[in-house]
Structures are given as C-alpha cells and as structure tokens.
Amino acid sequence: MRVVTQAVVVAALVGLGGGAFYVWKDWQASSAAATPAARAQAPILVEVISARSGTVVEQSESVGTARANESVTITAKQTGNIAIIGFEEGQRVNANHVLIELENKERRADLDQARGDLEQARAARDEIRQSHDRAKQLRSSGNVTEARLDQLESQFRAADGRVRSMEARFRSVDARLDDVRLYAPFAGRVGLRQVSLGALVQPGTTITTLDDTSKIKIDFNVPEIFLGRLRPDLEVAAKSSAYPDKTFIGRVTAIDTRIDPATRSVKVNALFDNPFEQLRPGLFLSVEIVLERREAVLVAEEAVLAEGTKHFVFVVKDNKIERREIKLNQRLPGEVEVASGLKADEVVVARGIQRVRHGQTVNPQPIRPNS
C-alpha cells in the first residue's frame, strides 16, 4: 500500500514539472516578442481625424450706440400762447400732423387787413387799366393827347407795383399765421411733452421730440486694418443686454471718409429694421460686422505641429505617415483654416503626432472624445 502511494506522488511531481517547463517555454517566447526590435516593427496606434470643408466667417467686433433713422426737436417759431395741443406723449403720428397751435386772433386780423389792402390795390389797378385802354382807343381820333396816355401808363405801372407789394405782404402775413401751427416733418413717434395748454412760448422753446424709429442707425468704429474690406451692404449683427436672446441683423449704409488718428479706426453706420421698436435711440449694443464669408478647408487645431514659423500635419495614406507642410489662415474655436497644403477629407493624425515620423506605418483609429 505504501508503495502504491509513493508511486502516485512521483507521478504527480513528474506532471507538475512538465507543465512548468511548457509554461516557462511560452514565457520565453513572449519575452522575445516584447523586445525593442519587435516593438519597433509593430504599427503605432494613433488617433486620426479628417479635414473638412466649411464656411469661414471673418468679422470685426465693436460696440455702438443706436440712434433714430430721423430725429428732430420740435420748437416754437413764434411768440404766443398755446391754444391747441394735438398729440399725446409717445403717440405715433404721420407727416404733417398738427402738433400744436398758438392763439392767432391778432394774426388773423392782420391777415384780413392784408387781404383787404390787396383787394383795394387790385381794384385801383383795374380802374386805371380800363382808363388806359379807353385812352388808347381815343388816341386815333385825336380826343386824347399823348401826354395823357403817357400819364395813364405811368399810373398803371405804379398801381401794378402796389398790387405786387400787397400780394407779397399778404403772403408774409399768411406765412406768419401758418407758423402758429407746428407740423410733424415726418412720420414718427413723439416724445415727452415739454409745455402745457395756455403756456407762453417764444421762438426756440422746446415743445417735444420726434423720432422715426421704424429703422434704427447704429454707429460704431472698425480698426483701420479692415478698411480695404469695408463696403456698403455688409452684414452687421448687434446684441443688447436688454434682449440677451435676440440678435438684430442690419446692413452697412455708410463709411466715414476719415480715419480717427487717436483710435486708428473708421466710423461705420449700419441701418436696422425695427418693426417692433425694440431698439431705442441711445441704446448701447455690441456689434459684429461680417467682413467676408468663404468656403475653406478646416482641420482640428491639435493636429497641427508648429516648428518655428512653419506648420505641419501628418497625413495618413494606406496606414503610412506623410509629413506635410501647410499654410494657415484664420483660426476658429478648435480648428484652423488651411490656406494650402491639405485637401478636404484627407486623414491626419490628431493625437500621437509627437510619436510618428514620415514614412512610418501606423494603426489609425478614429479620434475619441475627450473624457
């Protein structure tokens, strides 16, 4: 019995020894495969991304102040007491709407007097004309002398001059009477009323303001380096803290002819439609003017290697690396515009560019989002 037990133990030891030998042999083989030479021959794992075609927008940021498309302060032209106020504060009025009217009794009396004087002058002229016409008919029969005819002609010229003088006086008095009314020069919205009914006003007294806010102008400055790209009709986007979720779109309408020597910038004016009158004169806005839109090749910024003033990407073709110089233009968030050296849809190394070299074989994998 003891002999059988010993035999079993010996057999077990022999089996364990053989298994250990094969394990050691496999370990030796795996160690040999992990040598530097073997690792050098294995393709390097890199994360890649494709260049893409996209729209590049070049713009200049600034700040501006809104002002009405048309704006005027309504002031009195004549001295007098206000008889009629024809508007409410904040009211929208049409052009030629009567805003106020002054008391005009004296002016109406002056106008009636001027009209009467004009009618008398015309009647006197007509009477002299008739006498002159009869004298011309009687001259051929010798019943009227040349001296009398000359006298009548002189009287007619004098009477005609008095008529023209009276007509001018009548127009002047009528114009002064019209000045007692103040009209809206254009359609717009009136501001706060500065006078009361019955108040005595004099020439220059402020009555109210009138603003055409159906369109709004925004003035802002653009650095002089962009002067060559500025032109009318460029798109302008404006935002205000009063409307944080709203972007207003307008167009450049005018560019100043002079550059401010202190700020080295040029003043630009843009016009915005304002149908709901959200924009008010004096409102402060941030402004972005679109200088150019163009289609371009874009590549991830992390795929670009900078060496001095030069830039390179590592293009992957058939799992081979091609080190290629590129020219850059505009920088965008997370991307750069490639002016030359790379085409859209070409695959480049995005992560691992420090471990690759030209002509190397790699194992490209799509780039993974940052964790």
Q: Got the DSSP string for 6-52?
A: HHHHHHHHHHHHHHHHHHHHHHHHHHHHTSHHHHHHSPEEEEEEE-E
Per-residue model confidence (pLDDT) at position 142: 64
pLDDT of residue 86: 95
Q: In sequence order, what E strands does the chain have?
A: 44-50, 52-75, 80-85, 92-93, 98-102, 181-183, 188-190, 200-201, 206-223, 235-240, 243-260, 265-273, 284-300, 305-307, 310-317, 320-332, 335-340, 347-351, 362-366
Q: Determine phi and psi for 282, rounding to 5 degrees.
A: 95, -10
Tokens, residue 135: 């004298």
CA–CA gap between residue 168 and residue 41 (Å, rounded):
109
Q: So what's the pLDDT on residue 16?
A: 44
Return the pLDDT at 129. Answer: 83
Give dist(CA 248, CA 239) in Å, integer. 6
Give the C-alpha separation, 337 to 296, whole Å: 7
Q: What are phi and psi of 14, to 5 degrees?
A: -65, -40
Six-digit token pair at 151?
Answer: 């006298």
Return all residues near 327 (Cβ < 8 A) that are at least 6 apart. Answer: 311, 338, 339, 340, 341
Helix, strand, or coil (residue 302): helix
Task: Calculate the alpha carbon distances from 261 to 116, 258, 265 in Å.
Answer: 64, 9, 8
pLDDT, averaged per 10 consecutive residues of the chain (371 residues), comes to 42 45 45 48 88 92 95 91 93 95 74 77 83 73 71 82 83 72 93 94 94 96 93 95 95 96 96 94 95 92 94 95 94 93 95 91 88 46
pLDDT at 339: 94
